[in-house]
Each structure stands twice: as C-alpha cells, then as structure tokens.
Structure 1
Amino acid sequence: MDILIVEDEPVVARQLEETLHQEAYKTVAAGSVAAAKHAMQEQNFDLILLDWNLPDGDGITLLHGWRSQKICIPVLVLSANITVDDRVHALNAGADDYLCKPHSSIELLARVRALLRRDAPLKSSKLNADDVVVDIIAREVGVAGAPVKLSLAEFDLLTLLMQHQGIVLTRFQLNEHISKDFDRISVSNLIDVHIRNIRKKLDRPELIQTVRGVGYTIKA
C-alpha cells in the first residue's frame, strides 16, 4: 500500500513515515501543495494523509480540487483545527475522515487500516493466491475450482490477508478486523484458532505463513 503524506513540518512528516513503515506501508512525503500535486502526477496512491495548513496554500482547497477532478483516493485530514465547523468543512470538501492533532499512533493506524479496508474491495471483486480465489462480492471461496465453505470470521480474515499479500499483519490487526470486543483483543487467541481452521478447510497449509511472535501473512 502506497500512502502520500502531505505535511510541511519535517519532524511531523518523519514521525508519520516511521509509524507507517512499522506496518510495512510505503510512503512519499510532500511538504507543500505544489509537491503534493507533483507526487500525484508521478505515482498512484492508495491513501493520502493531508495536513490543512501548508506553506503555499491549504489542504482543503487542494482536496476540493482533487475531488472536482474525480480523484477518489481516500483522504484522511490531519489538522490542529479542532472545531466541529472545521471537521464539517473538511468532510464537505471530500475528506473521508478527520483526525485532530496531536493524535496517538494507535488511533492513526486504526483510521488508516479502516480507510484502506473500505477501499480495497472496490479495486477488484476477486482476489487470487495460487489456486485459491476469493470473490468479495459473492462472498465465495474456491480452491482449484472447488467451492470451500468458511465461517463469516474466517472469510473476513482470509480476505484481509489476501488484500495485503506480502505484508505481515499482526494478531492485533487481524483481531481488530473481526472483533468489536476491544478489551479482549490483546489477550485473545481466537485468531490462531481461525487461521488453523482456514488452513484445514483450504487444504493449503503453506498459503498462510506464520511470522513467529508477530502474526500472519500470505506471500506475494
């Protein structure tokens, strides 16, 4: 996943990059409106983190311009402007989410993952890994052309892993994806149980790789 960070404070931009790199996201930093426009011309991005106040303009005007050009990349606005009117203004301009500064890394990553998850199914209705195929719209799984029945949680976990092939997802991230009981996420072993069941049902034990002490991944 490629993320554009539009932030004019070098220290803040570097902190954002370090946080995102820990989760294996690729980043490009732009410190101005002009630099952000140039980056968008040079590369495709999956998500944009956008500061409001920039040295050569403001992020909300930049965002409005992108939306008028039918650029539909998810945008998370990061701003010290904390009033309700500010948030409403950003959302009306086309922002998908709004996070006030200062913010915690945990909350930032949760917002990033939520936006990427929401956008991922729109890119393709079918995901492939070897001879395993997941149809997101039909909510069907097939192995070598034969249908396989998974539970709701198993299907959601397999889909998330296939959407992020080559990226190690932590047990916390996977648990967060399927659980609303946030108090138990850090101590539950439910993910390990679900992964074991998925491997057994697919009869492809090597498809989902265990990264000891971290989580799971499907190799790209």
Structure 2
Amino acid sequence: MRLLVVEDDPDLGRQLKTSLSEAGYAVDLAVDGEDGHYLGETEPYDAVILDLGLPKMDGVRVLEKWRAEGKVMPVLILTARDRWSEKVAGFDAGADDYLTKPFITEELLARLRALLRRSAGHASSALELGDLRVDTSSARATVGGQPIKLTAHEYRVLSYMMHYQGRVVPRTELVEHIYDQDFDRDSNTIEVFVGRLRKKIGSDRILTERGLGYRLVDPAANE
C-alpha cells in the first residue's frame, strides 16, 4: 500500500516516513501544500496523512481541491490544531479521520490501518482468504497457521492483493502501489515478486489473467 505524508516539520516528516516504511508501506513525503496537492492529484495513493498548517497552501484547501477533483483516497488529518471548529472544518473538507499532535505512533498506525481496510471493504485488520492470513497490524502472513517469511516488497504485493482479493489487479496498478516515488520502478520485478510469493503461499493461489494482471483466490473454494 502506498501512502502520501504532507508535513512541513522536517523531523516529524522523516520520523513518519521511517515508521510507516518499517510498518510495510511505500511512502512519499511532501513538505508544503502545493507539492502535496500536486502529488495527491497526479499519483495513486491508498491513503494520505495531511497536516493542516502547511506553507504555500493550507491543508484544508489542499483537501478541498482534491475532493473537488474527484480524489477519494482516505485522508487522515494530523495537526497541532485541536479546536473543535478546526476539526469540523477538516471533516467538512472531506477528511476521514483526525489526530492531534503530539500523538503515539501506534495510534496513528492503527487509525491508518482502519482507513485502509474500510476503503477496501474489510472490517478486520486480519485479512483472510481460505487458510491464507495477513495480519496488517503486525505485517505478518501465515498459511495454515504457519508463518511465512516475506521481504518488504513481497509483503506489499501480498497485502495489496489481499485487500483487493478476488478481483484482477493489473501489473501497472501493483507497480503504482508498492513503490514510493523515488524508487527506480521496473514492472518486470512484479513477476519476480509474484513468482516468489507463489513458492511461499502456493502456486494455485495467484492466478495470471493474461493481458490483464493477477488475481488472488482460495484454491480450496473450487474443490
């Protein structure tokens, strides 16, 4: 899953990028409202963490513009402003959740997981398909109760496909959602990650839809 953090405090921005990356996300960082708006307008993010007090363009204005442009990704507002009127302004602009600074990183991650699973239509942080289970709260996966050792990119591919299990996920979509902006993207590596995942979770769980992409299924459902 790919996230955008729009935060002008350089130390907090770096801290968020590090914590979110360690939690298994691909993360882009913008330091002002104009840059944040541009990235959110042009790149396909699964969720955004947005500060309100930004230089060049206020966070509420950034969010209003995204929503007016038809951008529907979940947005978590993160700000030092705690007056109820400013919270209402953020929600009215299209925010999905609100967290006031200072905050506990674990709470931010929990709220973010909730936004991501709700946007994909899931009620629990544990995503299951047959005996395949991905726990997004711990970034771990199991098959039949046995843990699977995954690299960071393998986990991102599996987690994304588990969020959208059953539907065909194009290779280009995977590329857009597992790499951050600065990564040297190569769509051919997706085939490598999928091949490795098939060896670890079972080759019959990831189907190739020729010319379309990949689909994650429960092979036992067809028996």
Identify the residue that residue 64 of structure 1 maps to in structure 2: 64
Residue 62 and residue 42 in structure 1: after superposition, are their counterparts in 2 closer, same or farther (change >3 A)? Answer: closer
1:60/1:93 contact within 8 Å kept: yes
Contact 2:127–2:133 (CA under 8 A) maintained in structure 1: no
Amino acid at match of 2:83: T
Residue 120 of structure 1: how far off its partner (Å)? 1.5
What CA distance in whole angstroms lies between the structure 2 residues aligned with 1:97 and 1:36? Answer: 18
1:85 to partner: Cα distance: 1.5
Give per-residue Cα distances to partners, 1:141-194, cap 9 Å, x unaligned.
xxxxxxxxxxx98xx6415x9796xxx7455x78xxxxxxxxxxxxxxxxx9xx
1:120–1:163 Cα contact (<8 Å) kept: no
Distance 1:61 1:27 in 2: 22
| CA shift for structure 1 position 42 | 4.1
1:46 to partner: Cα distance: 0.4
Kindly report which structure 2 residues correspond to 1:1-220, keeping only aligned pairs within 5 A, or say none. Answer: 1-121=1-121, 157-159=127-129, 169=136, 199=144, 209-211=147-149, 219=197
Counterpart AA for 2:2: D
Q: Distance in 2 between matches of 1:101 and 1:79?
A: 6
**Matched-pair contact (CA < 8 Å) for 2:41–2:66:** no
Identity of aligned residues (%): 33
Given residue 158 of structure 1, which amino acid in structure 2 is its aligned partner? E
1:39 CA drift (Å):
1.7
TM-score, normalised to structure 1, is 0.60
Residues 56/118 of structure 1: CA separation in 2 closer, same or farther (3 Å cut): same
Aligned length: 152
Structure 2: gaps (5+ residues): 159-196, 199-223
Instruction: Supply the AA of the counterpart residue of 2:21.
Output: H
- Contact 1:80–1:101 (Cα < 8 Å) also in 2: yes
CA-based RMSD: 3.2
For CA contacts below 8 A with separation 6 or more, give which structure has more relative contact order. 2
Q: Which of the pair has more CA radius of gyration?
A: 1
Contact 2:113 2:136 in 1 (8 A): no
Q: Which amino acid aligns with 2:128?
A: L
Aligned partners of 2:5 and 2:27 also within 8 Å: yes
Query: Which residue identity is paired with 1:210?
Result: I
Normalised by the size of structure 2, how large is the TM-score? 0.59
